[in-house]
Structures are given as structure tokens and as C-alpha cells.
Copies of this chain bind each other. A is one copy, B any other.
Amino acid sequence: MMDKGVLTIISGFSGVGKGTLVAKLMEKYDNYALSVSATTRGMREGEEHGKSYFFMNVFEFEDKIQKNQFLEYAKYVNNYYGTPKQYVEDMLERGKDVLLEIEIQGARQVKKMMPEAVSIFVMPPDAQTLRERLTERNTEAEEVINERLRRATVEAEGIEEYDYVLVNDSLQESMEKLHSIIQSSHHQSYRNIDFIKKIREDVKIFTEGE
């Protein structure tokens, strides 16, 4: 049927385990590619250019904005974050299902540019778990926790805009569900128009006789 990859937007509350889910998915299945974001924030220990992020300065980033080279971008705590368009498109053309872990503002931009993207909001199983995940990383400064809570409120407002919600209760099970949602999307009719048209033409030939 179709050969092109599916772009999947993955969002969710901070600490909900999106990153681990995505890592597990990529470890098990080789049809996925992770979109690498660009950012102007400083590189942290253990991070790698071109892998964790494409690190660049503000001038470079704003130049790329001007040239319309981002699928989405946002400024957050004084730093730019964005998704380079070309990389995603190349991967999709090569048949890779591209995973894009972004915030809701970015998700909206991508959905506008690529309505065929599948969007998934990852949820904690219940409120208590959410609260713990949002507030109990004691290594973080208080302002980071407050910012996280503020973002959670904003994100919570937009959950219905996502195509799917996925509860991350058991990592293994949730990963398989994520895989299942993405692979099922390949079968959506509007992604298979050429195949449908071909069959239709053939049916016409049969019924008209030869």
C-alpha cells in the first residue's frame, strides 16, 4: 500500500515518561526515526550535538525562522526550540515513521502545516501519580517546578485537540499501544488514495467487460 512514513506528535505532562516510551519503541522496532530538535539553550552534560539537539546560537536560529526552515518553533524560558523541517521530510520520504516529542504550541503548528500528522497525548494513570511526577523531583529548583505546573495547566487545556490519549501505566504495554496506534494510522484511507484509485479503475474495467 503506502510507502511514506507517518509523522507522530507525542506530547504529555512533564515527567509522564514520554522520553522513555519513545526510547523503548525505537529500541524494539526499526521503522522509527526520532526528530532531532534545534535549540539555542546551552548544551548540558551528556548531551550531544545532532543527537540530543542541534545546538545553535540565536542568530542562526532566527535566520532559519526567516527562511521558513522549521516545522514548528517556540521560545521557552528565553530559549528557542524548533523542529527542522527538512530532516523530518527526508525521513518520511524514506518510509520512516518519525516521532516528534513536542509541547502543545508546537503540536498545533505542526498539525496546521501537516494535518496528516498523528498526535498523541501521554497521560499519567491518575491524578496522584501526576502530582508526584510534577512536583517531586527534588533535584529541580522551585522555579522549575512552578514553571512545570504552569505548563501542565496550559497543556491540560488542549488535550482534546490531540487525536489520541495514551495512559502510561505499564511501560511495556503502553509502548506496544503506541506502536499499534502509529501502525494503524498507515491504513487510514486518505493515506492510500493512489491504491484506492487503482483498484477502482480495475473494477471499472472488469464490469465494463473487455
Which residues in A have some Cβ–Cβ distance to B below 8 Å?
1, 13, 120-121, 123-124, 127, 130-131, 134-135, 149-150, 152-153, 156-157, 159-167, 177, 180-181, 183-184, 187-190, 192-193, 195-196, 198-200, 202-204, 206-207
Q: Given known contacts A166-B187, A184-B164, A187-B165, is B193 in contact with A153 (CB within 8 Å)?
A: no
Copies of the polypeptide in the assembly: 2
**Does B206 contact A134, Cβ atoms closer than 8 Å?**
yes
A142 CB, nearest partner CB in chain B, Å: 13
Mostly, the A contact residues are helix
Complex formed: what's the CA distance from A161 to B187 in Å? Answer: 13
| Cross-chain contact B156 with A200 (CB below 8 angstroms) | yes
Interchain CB contact under 8 A, A202 and B131:
yes
Contact of A1 (CB < 8 Å), options: B149, B165, B192, B195: B165
> Which residues of chain B are within 8 angstroms of A196 by Cβ–Cβ distance?
123, 159-160, 165
A199–B123 CB distance below 8 A: yes
Instruction: In the A-B complex, list the 8 residue pairs whose CB atoms are closest, starting with the nearest.
Output: A127-B202, A156-B200, A184-B184, A164-B187, A181-B184, A156-B203, A149-B207, A180-B180
Choose one: B13, B150, B195; the contact of A165 (CB below 8 Å).
B195
CB distance from A170 to the nearest CB of B (A): 13
Which chain B residues border A200 with CB–CB below 8 Å?
156-157, 159
CB <8 Å contact, B130 and A199: yes
- CA A123 to CA B198, docked complex, whole Å: 12
